[in-house]
């Protein structure tokens, strides 16, 4: 299907940071499928359902409503050349819908060009879409970092837009409702228009929040189904304590992380041969989601191993994890997941935003190795090493390899195996 060089490059596409996956995939497709813009649309990524690359004059105007409408016209597991309203204009597009519901849209350089090798395009996109779904389902640290950054950015933008537009519209309404103005009909028409605009604005705000948040009760219901499925052959008695329906809604990354961390913890509990009862509870206040998983009498939980499994997600979200295990008495895991990120992000949290390949590159950089020797050690090209080094510097907010190495040395990364 593809030669070894292409497969190696595709591996770099799926292994890199999730927030840059559209740009990497766009570069990968550029020669065989020339395009002006690329969009990956997946509602699984609650913080950033649109992942875009290419001409900003197109990508910045593309709305979720347009993508939803296009998605409805594309049968699953199919590729087609069509026209669609995208970015406020009718455009020729190459679209592919993965079986899991993830949509790929390419805007070709030539509007009259037909999509070459559509089956191959669909197969390659299927690999990318599967990678995205796995990162979301497993709540990988890279996904959580990307989603948290996007959620924070979206919330701030929505708040700023809503405040500015609402102030302007209320001002218009106040003036138009004044009895000192003439032309009664004009005033009524303008009043109706401004009122409708206010309603639309508030509806859009609600819609945006619905995409980025999940009710705690619904998230726990999904978790309960997953746990029952996991333990369908286990004899332990299960007790679930569901958060109330009016509990604080969960940011998307928190909901995914909570389910993944709970499932990881439950699996660790089931390795105890004498487990007979397991209690799983979620609760919230205005600042955080609290997970509480405990057994009765067992107390043989591998606390060190479990902390290691939870550590990456916890660091990324600034969560706290407490694990207690007392043989003959019982084991308990308590996790607090804050809704908002810490404004003063420490170095170890910055390091937790690096993916596996970037950590490998940083480790070798901190040992004084240059790009050529790093490429040989990892079996990749020097250009790929340069790409990863640039990504590391950007994520760590430093300007030189030396500064990045200092952070790695302070965190003990250079000495790690």
Asked if residue 116 belongs to a domain, the reply is yes
Is residue 127 located within the same domain as residue 88?
yes
Encode burial over 281-315: b for 16+ CB neighbours within 10 A, e otherwise. bbbbeeebbbbbbbbbbbbbbbeeebeeebeebbb
Which of the residue ranges 112-116, 173-177, 269-273, 353-357 would you say has the lowest mean pLDDT? Answer: 173-177
* Cα-Cα-Cα-Cα dihedral sign, residues 29, 35, 37, 41: negative
Asked if residue 224 belongs to a domain, the reply is yes
Is residue 234 located within the same domain as residue 356?
no
User: Quick one: pLDDT at residue 243?
Assistant: 93
Q: Which residue has the tokens 């929505």?
A: 158
Is residue 10 located within the same domain as residue 98?
yes
- CATH number of the domain within which 247 lies: 3.30.565.10
Asked if residue 417 belongs to a domain, the reply is no
Is residue 250 located within the same domain as residue 332?
yes
Domain boundary among 89, 121, 138: 138
User: Quick one: pLDDT at residue 26?
Assistant: 93
Is residue 112 located within the same domain as residue 170?
no
Is residue 310 located within the same domain as residue 358?
no
Asked if residue 416 belongs to a domain, the reply is no
User: Quick one: pLDDT at residue 265?
Assistant: 92
Is residue 369 located within the same domain as residue 326?
no
Is residue 248 located within the same domain as residue 319?
yes
Asked if residue 172 belongs to a domain, the reply is yes
Q: Say how many domains are in the chain.
A: 4
Asked if residue 279 belongs to a domain, the reply is yes
More confident residue, 356 or 236: 236
Burial level of 349, CB count in 10 A (0-12/13-18/19+)? middle
Mean pLDDT computed over 218-224: 92
User: pLDDT tens across 130-144, in order?
Assistant: 988 887 777 766 667
User: pLDDT tens across 27-56, in order?
Assistant: 999 999 999 999 999 876 665 788 899 998
- CATH number of the domain within which 126 lies: 3.30.450.270
More confident residue, 63 or 408: 63
CB atoms within 10 A of CB 341: 18
Is residue 326 located within the same domain as residue 366?
no
| Nearest residue to 253 via CA among 356, 146, 334, 353 | 146
Angle at 381 between CA 377 and CA 386, to 5 degrees: 95
C-alpha 299/C-alpha 295 separation (Å) is: 8
Is residue 132 located within the same domain as residue 10?
yes
| Structural domain boundaries enclosing 273 | 216-338
The pTM of the whole model exceeds 0.85: no
User: Quick one: pLDDT at residue 262?
Assistant: 93
As a whole-number percent, the residues of the chain with pLDDT over 70 amount to: 75
| Nearest residue to 272 via CA among 231, 219, 318, 228 | 231
Mean pLDDT computed over 149-178: 58
Domain boundary among 212, 228, 263: 212
User: Quick one: pLDDT at residue 346?
Assistant: 47
């Amino acid at each position: 299907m593809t030669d070894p060089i292409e497969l190696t490059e595709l591996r770099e596409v799926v292994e890199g940071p999730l927030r840059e996956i559209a740009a990497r995939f766009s570069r990968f497709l550029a020669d065989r499928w020339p395009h002006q813009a690329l969009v990956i649309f997946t509602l699984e990524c609650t913080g950033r359902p649109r992942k875009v690359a290419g001409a900003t004059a197109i990508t910045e105007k593309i709305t979720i409503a347009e993508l939803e409408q296009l998605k409805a016209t594309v049968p699953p597991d199919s590729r087609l050349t069509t026209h669609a309203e995208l970015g406020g204009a009718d455009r020729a597009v190459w679209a592919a819908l993965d079986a899991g519901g993830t949509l790929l849209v390419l805007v070709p350089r030539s509007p009259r060009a037909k999509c070459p090798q559509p089956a191959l395009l669909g197969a390659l996109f299927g690999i990318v879409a599967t990678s995205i779904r796995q990162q979301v389902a497993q709540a990988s640290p890279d996904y959580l970092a990307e989603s948290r950054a996007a959620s924070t950015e979206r919330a701030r933008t929505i708040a700023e837009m809503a405040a500015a537009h609402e102030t302007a519209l209320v001002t218009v309404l106040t003036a138009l409702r004044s009895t000192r103005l003439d032309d009664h009909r004009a005033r009524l028409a303008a009043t109706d228009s401004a009122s409708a605009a206010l309603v639309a604005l508030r509806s859009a705000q609600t819609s945006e929040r619905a995409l980025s948040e999940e009710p705690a009760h619904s998230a726990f219901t999904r978790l309960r189904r997953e746990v029952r499925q996991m333990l369908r052959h286990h004899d332990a008695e299960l007790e679930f304590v569901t958060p109330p329906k009016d509990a604080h809604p969960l940011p998307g990354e928190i909901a995914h992380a909570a389910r993944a961390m709970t499932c990881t913890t439950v699996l660790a509990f089931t390795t105890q041969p004498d487990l007979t009862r397991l209690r799983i509870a979620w609760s919230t206040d205005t600042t955080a989601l609290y997970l509480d998983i405990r057994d009765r009498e067992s107390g043989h939980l591998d606390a060190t191993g479990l902390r290691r499994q939870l550590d990456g997600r916890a660091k990324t979200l600034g969560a706290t994890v407490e694990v207690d295990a007392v043989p003959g008495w019982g084991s308990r895991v308590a996790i607090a997941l804050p809704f908002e990120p810490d404004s003063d992000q420490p170095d170890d949290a910055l390091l937790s935003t690096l993916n596996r390949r970037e950590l490998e590159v940083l480790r070798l950089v901190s040992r004084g190795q240059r790009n050529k020797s790093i490429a040989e050690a990892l079996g990749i090209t020097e250009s790929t090493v340069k790409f990863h080094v640039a990504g590391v510097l950007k994520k760590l907010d430093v300007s030189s390899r030396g500064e990045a190495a200092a952070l790695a040395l302070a965190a003990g990364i250079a000495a790690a195996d």
